[in-house]
A and B are shown apart, each in its own frame.
Chain A
Amino acid sequence: MLTGLTLTQARAGLAARKFSARELAQAHLDAIGRLNTALNAYITVLPEQDVLASADAADARYAAGTAGLMDGLPIGVKDLFCTKGVRTTAASKMLENFVPPYESTVTANLLNAGAVFLGKTNLDEFAMGSANMSSAFGPTTNPWTRKGDESTALVPGGSSGGSSAAVAAGLALAATGTDTGGSIRQPAAYCGIVGLKPTYGRCSRWGTIAFASSLDQAGPMTRSVADAGLMLEAMAGFDAKDSTSSNRPVPEFHKAVGKSVKGLRVGIPTEYRAPGLPADVVAMWEQGIAWLKAAGCEVVDVSLPHTRHGLTTYYIIAPAECSSNLARYDGIRFGLRKDAPTLDGVYEATRAAGFGQEVRNRILMGTYVLSAGYYDAYYLKAQKVRTLIKRDFEQAFENVDVLLTPTAPSAAFAQGENMDDPVQMYLNDIFTVPASMAGVPALSVPVGLNGVGLPLGLQVIGKHFDEETVLSIGGALEAAAGFTHKPSVHAGAGA
């Protein structure tokens, strides 16, 4: 089943000429044709002839022996990465018809590595959300369903929910995501796939539509930990066009998977054992600890005392940055414009019509916390607390190599749930946000199913620029868990 392969398997199959890139691409286009209406994982599917042309070019490179790292591998691209000549919407009415005349650095890197793009995947509008419910193009549906309750549509998580659903359902071998407070890891956990948020600065932000600049980071969403390493290798790298891009060399990440984890020290943040954490999540966490102990890791308790303020801090800093980053959507140079007799009228009409409610609320919140008289109490305070959170991690990492936590406090929930109380919705990010605040790498690995058959993920958090150890530990968890479950909707089902 070509749509069920990992990147690593497909790469080997292509190299051995067991199947062609064209066959691989065609299988995915067919799967998208059959399932995307139900899942709404893609906002835009590329024209078939374009996809097949890229696949043919990849086949030619295989024949010539010049194939790149991702050559011929069909993937989905979160619709937050600007793609030259291909509509890029950020799942917003504001950019409904925006066709960028440029290619983001991350997608350009992937194209250079030979990847075949299938289309642009759905997301929460401007990546703001944890359920994919705020997309102007309609929500994405999680391909997983609860056992005995197959008719209730679940969220795929967010904001990279279209990517996670597509990868889980066999509509792409892998997909790009972006993570600001958990937008790669949480949907990966909800859909039973692997998601890696690299260290801040590892992947260039140039050409990726900004949400919160000091937090945004692109990363891979894949079916295996090794795939995440492989794909990150292709995505990452220094970019002179991004002042926050790191010029450290990019290691051969995929080689980190399978390395012995014996003797590595794994920290368990005691503060994450929050009261009210569901028993199935706690049990899975304990299971993960046991697996790592069995693999030879030394597991110790660590304290991240300020971590419980991570979420509130995040919900000041991210909206503040977004309120400024989204000021450029003003109806003048690109995107939607609503006419009015005055300039301010154009601004107000355009931005009211172009932004959905969640985006508007975050812009307003951000405007408020930066405004005169409130800056010190909110924004400045949050930036100081952020220093404390970062120090917590630095201190913890003096004694341990990685931290192990659940990725999310629950499995996927139903569409429409948690919609009325934004704070309840924000709590989904409680375990993912602190690593974003500190800028450290973090990986979500699917490790099992809960009582109703929904996947749960564990999160491995590492030191700055030490994705390799994160991947090694993730690989060990993956090997121990042997997660091979499939969602109820996937390309291989009934075929």
Chain B
Amino acid sequence: MSYTIEGRTGTWEIVVGLEVHAQVISHSKLFSGASTTFGGDPNTQVSLVDAAFPGMLPVINHECVAQAIRTGLGLKAQINLNSRFDRKNYFYADLPQGYQISQFEYPIVGKGTISIELQNGDVREIGVTRLHLEQDAGKLLHDQDPTKSFVDLNRSGVALMEIVSEPDIREPEEAGAYLRKLRQILRYLGTCDGNMEEGSMRADVNVSVRKAGEPFRTRCEIKNVNSIRFVMQAIEVEAARQVEIWENGGEVDQETRLFDPSRGETRTMRSKEDAHDYRYFPDPDLLPLVLEQAWVDELAAQLPELPDAKRARFQAEYGIAFYDAGVLVAEQAVADYYETVARGRDGKLAATWVMGDLFAALNRTGNSIETSPVSAEALGKMLDLIADKTINGKIAKEVFEDMVETGESPDAIVEKKGLRQVTDTGVIDAAISAILDKHADKLAEYRSGKDKLFGFFVGQVMKETKGKANPALVNEALKARLDA
């Protein structure tokens, strides 16, 4: 256990569980035919069902069910063929029905697991307790009027997956790794875009502290934290707050808290006394959700390759390092790019170029992999030019920079700039003669035993040929002449 808090009375460890709300990617809402598109004009993506007009009824969206199943499969979780929808009853201005349709007792997905990797290379399994489908709420705007809050119901009724972890997390870093990995899996599956800034992925963080070997102590729930960095900060400050209370002989109250990033502290939102009594009961407007195993199997068969599997395959297939494979599969688009470059070529060289020159160029030009000025096909073609000795590695860098700038094909650049590698031994021999004549003193030193000067001669010959000479041929010929 690397993360602990040293208190006056001893060493404390932290216990964290995460509840992630992930907005499901679908065209229409969970129980209505209104659009889910982000950023629409206020209250335009609202149906009578979403605004809970009298007599309106929910009808479930098939794709949202499929997305939940895909996600469950991606988390290696139990898919429950029988699940049910319940009403969670409470009043709030963003909740038109006066209840949220959710799954309480019988969620669609049961226990699963997420494998996370820490900075030091350690790999840990974090348990997933369950995943269930539920409705999102509307949005309140507080800054439009001095005495009123404004209600926009565009988001009301959009499908969410609530993904609940076991209290297996012991470090802020693990919480960050868990969220990043979960987001990566969701993005690979295409079930949630994982965009925390737009609120399509949000986390509630359950934090408690205890001394080693103790049972769990009272936990607090920090609601709606909207970035991975804030989740990690919130855990740190909340754990420290709780240790302080316990060490002063106090009791931590079970309550709901908010994290204020500007002050770096958590504060009470709702105490246990005014905790909600949600009065869950099965929604009588909906019948039990019964899934066919055959459909689940079909969805499983269509599942894309997930990051862990892809990483293992990249290692095996392209001979690259575990770490490098991890970097390359972090995003689906990068993995696809890399694989296009590497397929049928030198995988290690492909990795070096993608992670080195390409990433640097993207960074420098403010591009993402999707908007890369150099396509994967073009980079692959450039590697082909290296492989067939049309250019050498040094010239390749020059070609690549030109590709970034002009977007032209590597062949065209090589032709345009006359960068074709010199493999004519006559030209190379002539260059060697010229250099040896010019540096007769160095030649004498070399021959008297100063072997190190070999590199000097190689460099001079390359310079003489403007870098275009084939380095292997230069080596070979130079060695023959010097040692003659």
Contacts and interface: CB of A to CB of B under 8 A. Distances in A.
A303 interface: no
Given A327-B91, A328-B96, A371 B55 contact: no
Residue from the set A98, A212, A320, A324 with the largest chain B CB neighbour count within 10 Å = A324
B53 A327 contact: no
B55 A205 contact: yes
A347 interface: yes
Given A206-B55, A210-B55, A371-B279, A328 B60 contact: no
A347 B89 CA distance: 14
A212 B55 contact: no
B58 A243 contact: yes
Interface in A358-407: 367, 370-372, 375, 379
B48 A320 contact: no
A85 to B, nearest CB: 14
Contact of A343 (B53, B93, B99, B277): B93
Interface in A338-353: 343-344, 347
Given A243-B59, A243-B286, A333-B96, A98 B54 contact: yes
B405 interface: no
Interface string A96-111: 0010111010000000
A44 interface: no
Contacts of A321: 284
Contact of B60 (A98, A243, A244): A243
A334 interface: yes
A306 to B, nearest CB: 20
A208 B87 CA distance: 20
Contacts of B286: 243-244
A183 B461 CA distance: 103
A328 B52 contact: yes
B277 A372 contact: yes
B98 A327 contact: yes
Contacts of B92: 343
Contacts of A214: 284
Interface residues of B, number: 30
Interface in A237-294: 240-244
A12 interface: no
B47 to A, nearest CB: 10
Given A212-B284, A321-B284, A332-B151, A102 B99 contact: no
B154 to A, nearest CB: 14
A158 to B, nearest CB: 19
B48 A332 contact: no
Contacts of A372: 277, 279
Nearest to A82: B55
A240 B57 CA distance: 10
Interface size class of A (residues with CB under 8 A): 35 or more
Given A328-B96, A333-B52, A243 B91 contact: no
Given A213-B285, A240-B59, A327-B99, A371 B54 contact: no
Contacts of B151: 332
A242 B284 CA distance: 11
B287 interface: yes
B97 interface: yes
B281 interface: yes
Given A102-B53, A208-B55, A328 B287 contact: no
A241 B98 contact: no
B96 A332 contact: yes
B258 interface: no
B56 interface: yes
Contacts of B284: 212-214, 244, 321
Contacts of B87: 324
A370 B281 contact: yes
Nearest to A321: B284
B51 interface: yes
B287 A243 contact: yes
Nearest to B51: A333
A328 B54 contact: yes
Interface in A182-218: 205-210, 212-214
A243 B97 contact: no
Nearest to A343: B93
Given A102-B48, A375-B281, A332 B93 contact: yes
Given A212-B284, A370-B281, A88 B57 contact: no
Interface string B188-207: 00000000000000000000
Nearest to A346: B93
A333 B53 contact: yes
A206 B89 CA distance: 21
B54 A375 contact: no
Nearest to A373: B277
A206 B58 CA distance: 10
A207 B54 CA distance: 7
Contacts of B279: 323-324, 367, 370-372, 375
A95 B52 contact: no
A334 B53 contact: yes
Interface in B52-90: 52-60, 87, 89
Contact of B285 (A243, A323, A332, A347): A243
Given A320-B281, A375-B281, A100 B93 contact: no
Contacts of B96: 328, 332-333
A179 interface: no
Interface string A325-339: 011101011100000
A330 B91 contact: yes
A282 to B, nearest CB: 36
A327 B60 CA distance: 21
B91 A344 contact: yes
Nearest to B278: A372
A407 B54 CA distance: 30
Interface in B192-229: none
Given A243-B286, A243-B287, A327 B55 contact: no
A90 interface: yes
Given A240-B59, A243-B285, A343-B93, A209 B54 contact: yes
Contact of A379 (B54, B59, B60, B281): B281
A186 B59 CA distance: 32
Contacts of A205: 55, 57
A95 B99 contact: no
B289 to A, nearest CB: 10
Contact of B57 (A98, A206, A330): A206
A244 B54 contact: no
A122 B87 CA distance: 31
Nearest to A333: B51
Contact of B98 (A82, A324, A344): A324
The 9 lowest CB-CB distance pairs between A and B, nearest first, are: A327-B98, A370-B279, A213-B284, A214-B284, A328-B52, A207-B55, A209-B54, A372-B277, A213-B285
14 contacts: A82-B55, A102-B53, A206-B57, A214-B284, A243-B59, A323-B89, A324-B279, A328-B96, A333-B52, A334-B53, A343-B93, A367-B279, A370-B280, A375-B280
Given A206-B56, A327-B97, A330-B98, 4 more contacts: A209-B55, A243-B59, A244-B284, A334-B54
